A and B are shown apart, each in its own frame.
Chain A
Amino acid sequence: MAVLRVRVVAPDRVVYQGESSSVVAPAWDGKVGILPDHAPIIILLGVGELDVDLPGNGSHRFHIAGGVMKVLDNQVTVLTEYAGDQPLVPELIPAGARIHEEDLLEHTSPGNPFA
């Protein structure tokens, strides 16, 4: 089976780079799972845990805040304002990373999750 090549990139460095069997990311409107051969997608991220499952056993967990994830040809790029082992204290979460309820209501429609 194909594997995902994952890159987690923060403004000052590449936090993680490696292969993965599946990725679960905190998208702006809830968690999103990516498996190999996923359709190309660009999705806005919120604040939460990013889980990168390794082929075989084990996984990496990062706490991230904001940014965007792009998936193309099994290449997963997570661009985020912050990525670390510890969750950010709420005061330090960049304003741009927060998703507000109004945004969710405005940008989601029940019929089409990607609208």
Chain B
Amino acid sequence: MANAREVKRRIKSVENTRQITRTMELVATSKLKKATDRVHAAKPYGDALTEIVRSLYAPAFAEQFPLLRRPDGTKRAAVLLLTANRGLAGGFNANLIKEARRGLDELRGQGIDTELHIAGRKGIAYFRFRGEPISGQWTDIGDVPTSDDAERLVGGLRDRFAEGDLDAVYLVSSEFVSAMSTPPATTKVLPIEPDNAEQSAEGFILSPAPGFILERMLPSYVRNVVFTALVENAAAEQGQRRTAMKNATDNAGEVLEHLTRTYNRARQAQITQEIAEIVGGAAALE
């Protein structure tokens, strides 16, 4: 039977752990709320920009603009992976890393020379440990990503695509469906493939010519794809962390219940034994 004092000590320790995980859960909940608001706040710009780019797009522009070029076959590609700077978020980072590895394997399997760019300490640490060359890395993207952050991440890749140095750019990040559902996803950032517009620019006065507007809007469009992903990824991280910390708190509760029972049993056993000894001692005197 376990020593009562030993069990008491473990109960204290688990109580402390539960206190910490509960606090982290509360912090993540409040951050999640703000991050979710940011996801919603960023949506109107993305939607409106996509609509305008789609309505201005015409296949003929492909030859005119480097950013719209359609490479014949892909020789060189880049994967941009967005992870978190911090752990303790359940499978958040691991899922993203798995998705990135799958993407890398697939591209390289097709004989495409693929380089890897990573934002977030967790992803960098993993791929550095595996000895994977990392072409670009950023660890200074916080809980509140800005449009400038997105520009820093994708600006260089975008220019290299326009120059013909890269033929495709993929983005691996978490889609924010809800706080509970944040599946990792791979998005093709470049080449840009606008879907057919529901509403074309016909009937609009265009100033200046559509090509020139498009030329100005395309870099913003590419940047905004990454910005949206950053914002969603930040929200997904908090969502996952909240879930993970809630589970940890619940588990600590279960462990405590079990330990408390063990403690009571040990204490009772001790008391029973002491009574038995006293009774035994008294009986011996008679």
Contact = CB atoms under 8 A, between A and B. Distances in A.
Interface of A: 7, 9-14, 27-29, 32, 39-44, 66-68, 70, 72, 77, 79, 81, 94, 96, 103, 107-108, 113-115
B44 interface: yes
B209 A115 contact: yes
Interface in B23-57: 38, 41-42, 44-45, 48-49, 52, 55-56
Given A42-B52, A96-B219, A9 B207 contact: no
Contact of A41 (B41, B207, B219): B207
A70 B212 contact: no
Contacts of A14: 41, 44
A44 B56 CA distance: 12
Nearest to A78: B48
Interface string B215-233: 0110110001001000100
B147 A12 contact: yes
B129 interface: no
Interface stretch (B79-87, B119-127, B135-143, B198-206): B198-206
Nearest to A82: B147
Interface in B253-274: none
B212 A12 contact: no
A13 B34 CA distance: 13
Contacts of B212: 44, 103, 107
Contact of B44 (A7, A29, A43): A7
B48 A42 contact: no
The 8 closest A-B pairs by CB, nearest first: A107-B208, A13-B41, A41-B205, A11-B147, A43-B207, A40-B204, A9-B45, A44-B213
Contact of A70 (B45, B52, B203, B227): B52
Given A11-B147, A43-B205, A67-B220, 10 more contacts: A9-B45, A12-B41, A12-B45, A32-B207, A40-B203, A41-B206, A44-B212, A96-B216, A108-B208, A115-B209
B207 A27 contact: yes
Contact of B56 (A39, A42, A79, A96): A42
Nearest to B203: A40
Nearest to B151: A94
B216 A66 contact: yes
B154 to A, nearest CB: 13
Contacts of A96: 216, 219-220
Interface in B129-166: 146-147, 151
B208 A29 contact: yes
A61 B9 CA distance: 65
A84 B56 CA distance: 28
Given A42-B52, A70-B52, A11 B45 contact: yes
Contacts of A79: 45, 48-49, 52
B139 to A, nearest CB: 22
A9 B44 contact: yes
A93 to B, nearest CB: 12
Contacts of A44: 207-208, 212-213, 216
A66 B219 CA distance: 12
A76 to B, nearest CB: 12
Contacts of B42: 11-13
Given A27-B207, A114-B207, A42 B45 contact: no
Contacts of B44: 7, 9, 14
Nearest to B228: A11
B38 A12 contact: yes
Interface string B168-190: 00000000000000000000000
Q: Which one of B49, B147, B205, B212 has the greatest number of beta carbons of chain A within 10 Å?
A: B205
